[in-house]
Amino acid sequence: MKTDHKFLEVKNLKTQFNTPEGTVYAVNGVTFNLSEGETLAVVGESGCGKSVTMMSIMRLIQIPPGKIVGGEVIYRDNDLLQLSEEAMEQIRGREIAMIFQDPMTSLNPVLTVGRQLTETLRTHTPMTPEQCRERAQNLLELVGIPDAKKRLDNYPHQFSGGMRQRVMIAMSLACTPSLLIADEPTTALDVTIQAQIIELVKELKKSVGMAMIWITHDLGVVAGLADRVLVMYAGYVVEEALVDELYENTLHPYTLALLQALPRADRRRDQSLKSIKGSPPNLLVEPRGCPFAPRCEFVQEKCITENPALLDIETNHKVACWVDVKTGALR
Amino acid sequence: MTEPLVRVENLTKHFPIRKGMLIERVVGAVQAVDNISFTINRGETLGMVGESGCGKTTAGRTLLGLYPATSGKTIIDGHSVYEARGSELMKVRRKAQMIFQDPYASLNPRWTVNSIVSEPLRVHNLINTRKERDERVKELLELVGLNARHINRFPHEFSGGQRQRIGIARALASEPLFVVCDEPISALDVSIQAQVVNLLEKLQDQLGLTYLFVAHDLSMVRHICDRVAVMYLGVMVELAERDELYENPLHPYTKALLSAVPVPDPRKERERKRVILSGDVPSPINPPSGCRFHPRCPVAVERCKAEVPEWREVRPGHHVACHLVEK
């Protein structure tokens, strides 16, 4: 976790969208890195730029209206943002795979599951159709779908939501990628099915040994899954820490407010929930000052005029905030 | 003890499945809600939890009479919902309102906030003049924490959390006693959820409301509800006082459900033992025999396949439907 930072390095990534209403500042200089085999969780509310960051890394942003205006994505010594589309196609699906939030819409309803499962294999490997089919069957067995051989000829509508998400995971694992990006893979699922999928992913991660980026808004899911966590707000990373550190020694007012706004199923109720005042930021306005300042209970004058950089405050703990939340004074 | 505000007895809702083009016949039924009974006391919040397809939304809608019940009875404040006609029916409708899940789909995009919030006032003839209406709507908007000056705006000019507040204002317009909240926060962001939940609690204190809170978020339900009912595949499997249910669940399904809820505490998460249920929820068209949970139940015995477990009170206020729970 500490030594090898050469696996994936994202530096100062900026993505914007041109819309009729003006420029949407979706990602405003995101920097992080990932080691081999590590699980990183990216947490934030809708519109915080977590999905756009990952889509930018995969170069899946539609251009126009989107545009990656700056930054680098260094994956094993290559800047993915500089690669040709052909070279990028060799990486997508083979080296870096992605699973999406909604298993209902990310499968093609008119193709059999077997056909969709073998697509990556047909694109990236010289396997014969028979070998592809056999591999697809193994993959379905790996993700715990009973009667795999028969199920290959089924269509997506013949699977339940949880089963479809298993199919998606099987698809992403087809070429044994070294990095799996999961964009809210369990948000559309019920809790008991979510627990099944999380257990499955944990086991697969152990056996395949891949690194993973897990995007979510659920701080409960993060707690049980991640090694390290990035908290995003309005297109910025506001806090980054190892998982225990983040929950026990929270340094950013936004992270703190999120944790206090969460009811707990494991505790008796002691008081009303602490709510975060105001509403999520308008990304059409070019950010000036700290984006969280209008909603922050620790806000100081400096916060309104100057945006704090993401700095190492403690070992393995970065935060972008002028204020020390323990004293309420400027750092 | 005083009479409960809401009394539901053996409520059943089946949706018929029809086949055939010219001569339609009923070939089966989706057994969405099957024989559930419970009461809600005045000023209480009863939580109804379960996974998608367990019938919790259907139960909420049926008990307000939005769906005709297949059989059973619901009595709200002394009036039988399914037998009431004419002015009595209007009275029941006025006293029992609903807040919907999706703040985008439940507001007419072509209506102003004024028209949306005042609709119940018009329907129930609670206002006479335009001035009276505007004043009442402004009062309601302020009650739910919206700016009264926004009265002539359209829904698209508001954020999700604000729209949900408009929905709440509409539900409160006719001065109800009882409100069914159907997943009122599940479409909202975490930071906004707390705002809306705190608002619902404040309104309950202020106006003496009684809630049926339908949700799948078990953490939020523990926070807001006084008692909690757990549904599985159209039947109620357990009902108890909040802390009793979360600390001492008796039904195997409740146990599995609670163990699956993630808690925001990494150390605790690592040590937790999860009951992972195998398989998916079966179809409510052809539910399993006996106890509907038996095919997925980790402790099921032969008896569970054959006999429908009785709904019984095993401890004061703690009801459960399971053969294996000792009295």
With respect to residue B214, please indicate whether it lies within any of the assigned structural domains. yes
Interface test with B, best of A147, A160, A264, A292 (most B CBs within 10 A): A264
Q: pLDDT band at residue B48, thresholds of 50, 70 and 90?
A: very high
Half-sphere CA count of A89, side-chain side, radius 13 A: 8
**A305, amino acid identity:** T
**Max mean pLDDT range (A144-153, B232-241, B264-273):** B232-241
* CA distance to partner chain A, nearest, from residue B1 (Å): 26
Q: pLDDT band at residue A4, thresholds of 50, 70 and 90?
A: low
The answer, yes or no, to whether ipTM is higher than 0.90 is no
Residue A84, chain B, CB below 8 Å: the answer is: no
Tell me the residue range of the domain where B214 lies. 42-64+83-225
With respect to residue B207, please indicate whether it lies within any of the assigned structural domains. yes
* CA distance to partner chain A, nearest, from residue B255 (Å): 11
pLDDT of res. B1: 53
Q: Exposed, middle or buried by CB within 10 Å (0-12, 13-18, 19+), for A175? A: middle
Whether residue B257 is found in the same domain as residue B217: no
Report the distance separating Cα B49 and Cα B228, nearest Å: 7
E strands, chain A, in order: 8-19, 22-34, 39-43, 66-75, 78-79, 96-99, 179-183, 211-216, 228-233, 236-242, 311-314, 317-319
* HEC letters along A14-40: EEEEEECCEEEEEEEEEEEEECCCCEE
Report the distance separating Cα A40 and Cα A243, nearest Å: 9
Residue B236 has pLDDT above 90, yes or no: yes
Residue A153 has pLDDT above 60, yes or no: yes
Whether residue B204 is found in the same domain as residue B97: yes
With respect to residue B149, please indicate whether it lies within any of the assigned structural domains. yes
Please state the rounded mean pLDDT for residues B161-182: 93
Residue A264, chain B, CB below 8 Å: the answer is: yes
Whether residue B272 is found in the same domain as residue B193: no
With respect to residue B15, please indicate whether it lies within any of the assigned structural domains. no
Go through B249-275 and write b for each residue having 16 or more CB atoms within 10 A of its CB, e for each that does not.
bbbbbbebbbbbbbbbbbeebeeeebe
Whether residue B169 is found in the same domain as residue B300: no
* CA distance to partner chain A, nearest, from residue B223 (Å): 6
Whether residue B212 is found in the same domain as residue B259: no
Residue B62 has pLDDT above 90, yes or no: yes
* CA distance to partner chain B, nearest, from residue A143 (Å): 13
Please tell me which of the candidates B191, B218, B264 has its beta carbon nearest to residue A223: B264
Please state the rounded mean pLDDT for residues A217-231: 91
With respect to residue B212, please indicate whether it lies within any of the assigned structural domains. yes
Whether residue B96 is found in the same domain as residue B180: yes
Whether residue B205 is found in the same domain as residue B90: yes
Whether residue B114 is found in the same domain as residue B149: yes
Residue closest to B240 by CA, chosen among B153, B318, B325? B318
- CB proximity under 8 Å: A 194-223 to B: 194-196, 199, 217-223
Whether residue B50 is found in the same domain as residue B189: yes
Residue B131 has pLDDT above 50, yes or no: yes
Q: Are B166 and A283 in contact (CB under 8 A)?
A: no
Report the distance separating Cα A324 and Cα B8, nearest Å: 53
Last residue within a domain, chosen from B185, B208, B225: B225
Go through B188-204 and write b for each residue having 16 or more CB atoms within 10 A of its CB, e for each that does not.
bbbbbbbbbbbbbbebb
Whether residue B294 is found in the same domain as residue B180: no
Q: Are A304 and A289 in contact (CB under 8 A)?
A: yes
End-to-end CA gap in chain B: 25
CATH number at residue B106: 3.40.50.300
**A246, amino acid identity:** L
Interface test with A, best of B158, B216, B265 (most A CBs within 10 A): B265
Phi, psi of A71, deg, nearest 5: 110, 175
Residue B162, chain A, CB below 8 Å: the answer is: yes
Residue closest to B238 by CA, chosen among B311, B301, B324, B299? B311
Q: Which residues pair with A179 in a beta bridge?
A: A96, A211
Whether residue B271 is found in the same domain as residue B206: no
- Asked whether the beta carbons of residue B246 and residue A191 sit closer than 8 angstroms, the reply is no
- Asked whether the beta carbons of residue B263 and residue A162 sit closer than 8 angstroms, the reply is no
With respect to residue B241, please indicate whether it lies within any of the assigned structural domains. no
For the stretch B211-227, pLDDT in tens is: 999 998 899 999 999 99
Total domains present in chain B: 2
Interface test with B, best of A145, A163, A192, A272 (most B CBs within 10 A): A192
Residue closest to B294 by CA, chosen among B310, B306, B276? B306
Whether residue B189 is found in the same domain as residue B265: no
Given phi > 0 = left and psi -120 to 50 = alpha, else beta, which region is B50? left
Mean pLDDT in chain A? 87
For the stretch A45-99, pLDDT in tens is: 888 888 899 999 999 888 888 899 989 999 988 899 998 988 998 888 888 998 8
